[in-house]
Amino acid sequence: MEYAIVLIGAAAVALALVAWVARSGAIGRLFDAVIGRVLNSAG
């Protein structure tokens, strides 16, 4: 029973984190930064 409660709690935290990242646009900014560095290092 305790195991199920821990799993539900972990899933809720993960879902909240995914929702926050999706709202903030952090993934897009990270992707842009990585591509920018790759292009700058390529010349």
Amino acid code (one letter) for 30: L
Listed residue (33, 34, 16) closest to 24, CA to CA: 16
> Which pLDDT does position 9 carry in this prediction?
94
d(CA 1, CA 31): 40
pLDDT average, residue stretch 2-29: 90
Range of the domain at 26: 2-42
Q: Work out the number of other CB atoms within 10 angstroms of the CB of residue 5.
A: 9
The DSSP output letter for 1 is -
Q: How confident is residue 34, by pLDDT bands cut at 50, 70 and 90?
A: very high
> Which pLDDT does position 43 carry in this prediction?
67
Q: Which two tokens stand for residue 12?
A: 């809720």
Q: Is the pLDDT of residue 5 over 90?
A: yes
pLDDT average, residue stretch 2-14: 94
pLDDT average, residue stretch 25-38: 87
Instruction: Give how many domains the chain has, as a whole number.
Output: 1
